Amino acid sequence: MGSGPPDLLPGTLDLLILRALRGGSKHGYGIAEHLRAQSDDVLQVGESSLYPALQRLLLNGWVKGEWGVSENNRKARYYTLTAAGKKRLTVEVDEFDRMILAIHKVLKAAI
Partner 1 sequence: MRLLRRLAFLLRRDDGLESELEFHRLMKQDELRAKGIPETEILSAAQRAMGNDLLARERALDVWVSPALRDASQDIKYGLRVLVKDRRFAIVAIVTLALGMAVSQAVFAFVNATVLHDLPFEDPHRLLTVRTIDPRGFNSGISWLEFQEWRRESTVFESLSADLNQSVSVSDAAHAAERLSGAFISATTFRTLGVAAALGRDFTDSDDEDGAVAVTIISYGLWRTRYGGDPSVIGRVIRVNEQPSTVIGVMPERFAYPLVTDLWMPMHLAPNLQSFTWTSTSFGIAGRLKPGAAIAQARAEVEAISSRLAREHRELARDRRVVVLPLKEGTLAPDALSLMMALLGAAVVVLFVASANVANLLLARSWRRSREIAVRLALGASRWRVVRQVLIECALIGVAGSLLGSYLSWFGFNAMSAAFNVFEIGAPDRPRKVYWFNPDADGAVWLFGGAAFLFASLAAGLVPALHLSKAGTNDILKDGRLGAATRSSRRWAAALMIGQIAVAVMLLVPGGLFARSFFGLYRTSPVIDTRDLVAMRLTLPPARYATPGQRREFFRLLEERIDASGVFSESTIASEVPIQPLTAATRLVAVAGRAIEPDEQLPRVTYLLAGQRFFETLRFPIVRGRALNPDDSASGSPGVVINERAAAVLFGGDDPLGRRITLTTGAQAPPLVRTVVGIAPTLPDYLPNQPDDMAVYAPLPSDPSQPRGISVIARSTSKAAAAAALRDEVGTLDPDLPVHAVQSLDEMLALTRSGARMVGSWFQTLALIAVVLACVGLYALTANGVGQRTAEIGVRMALGARAGQVIMLFMRQAFVLVAVGLALGLTGALASTRLLSTFLSDVDPRDPVTFITVAVAVSLVACAASAIPARRAARVDPVRAIRTD
Residue 38 found at the interface with partner 1 (CB under 8 A): no
Binding-residue pattern over the window 62 to 81 for partner 1, x denoting contact by CB under 8 A: ---x-x--x-x-xxxx----
Give me the phi and psi of 83, to 5 degrees please.
-60, -45
Piece in contact with partner 1 (CB under 8 A), picked from 5-13, 18-26, 54-62, 92-100: 54-62
Residue 85 found at the interface with partner 1 (CB under 8 A): no
What is the C-alpha separation between 83 and 92, in angstroms, rounded?
Answer: 14
Residue 51 found at the interface with partner 1 (CB under 8 A): yes
Q: Tell me the C-alpha to C-alpha distance, in Å, between residue 86 and each of 1, 21, 41, 50, 73.
A: 32, 9, 26, 19, 29
Residue 36 found at the interface with partner 1 (CB under 8 A): no
Yes or no: say if 64 and 89 are a contact pair by the CB < 8 Å rule.
no
What is the C-alpha separation between 49 and 16, in angstroms, rounded?
Answer: 12
For partner 1, the binding residues (CB under 8 A) are 1-3, 27-29, 32, 46-48, 50-52, 54-56, 58-61, 65, 67, 70, 72, 74-77
